[in-house]
Amino acid sequence: MSVSQPGTEAGQPTAAGLTSREVEVVQLVARGFSDRQIGEDLFVSPWTVHAHPRNILTKSECVNRTELSVRAHEHGLAGRNLPAGR
């Protein structure tokens, strides 16, 4: 997994092949947010959020959210570019 490129447009793949929305989800997963909390934070349904980690796990070749969180922290993605309050 690679850190997203600054200024990446919404929906455009990053260097890791993740969309900007998926990068947002990775950041929140790495901070320990549940699907419900991520949905509230991103203003989408928990069902929509549930699909993101599944896709992200496939793209990142991680086996679970814990491994995804560890990788996000290793790559400095866990708290990067999050507005105050997130």
Give the pLDDT confidence of 49-59 residue by residue, as tens digits: 888 878 898 88
Half-sphere exposure of 84 (CA within 13 A, CB side): 0
Looking at domain 20-74, its CATH class is: mainly alpha
Give the pLDDT confidence of 3-33 residue by residue, as tens digits: 434 444 545 556 568 888 998 999 999 999 9
| Alpha carbon distance 70, 13 (integer Å) | 21
Q: Which pLDDT does position 84 carry in this prediction? A: 40
Give the pLDDT confidence of 41-81 residue by residue, as tens digits: 999 988 888 888 788 988 889 999 899 999 988 888 876 55
Q: What's the pTM?
A: 0.72
Q: Domain ranges for the chain, please list them.
A: 20-74
